[in-house]
Amino acid sequence: MERITMSIDERLARDFDELIAERRYASRSEAIRDLLRREIEAQRPAREPKTHCVATLSYVYNYRERQLGARLAQAQHEHHDVVVSATRVPLDHQNCLESVVLKGPAAAVRVFADRVQAERGVRHGQLNLVAVETGDAHADSGTHRHHGHLHLIPRS
């Protein structure tokens, strides 16, 4: 393992220690490793456009906005190759939270996410993307048939 030494101001160190305590990391080192992994994986699809991913897109929208529900449903149908499922949760008399599970080429997932987030009336959009490798190998080889599907293995 390689050792890295860094200096940060006292306020940032206190805030970081609070984060470590809240998330129950065993050490500063483990927290920094986790943050680095997350940032590197978040940037991977931009560096490797053919990367496959699994993702969630969550957003809040005003369902009373003229034809917005229909436009969002249309976008999901037009991108049926990456949309796995969607769940809508009413928040109040006009706002809904929707979470969409996605999988496929990262570029296609981002195109869908950008389209949805650009719709008038959609707010608080957040795409959480996890790069995966595709394959059919696993620990239980030979115990079942794949019937034409690939496994999506999260990159570590």
Among 78, 75, 81, which residue's Cα sits nearest to residue 98? 75
Q: Does domain 52-135 have CATH number 3.30.70.1150?
A: yes
Confidence (pTM): 0.68
87: CB partners within 8 A, 6+ apart: 98, 99, 100
pLDDT tens for each residue of 103-147: 999 889 999 999 999 999 999 999 998 888 777 665 665 666 656
Instruction: Report the run of H or E that residue 14 belongs to, with start and end.
Output: helix 10-23
The domain ranges of the chain are 10-47, 52-135
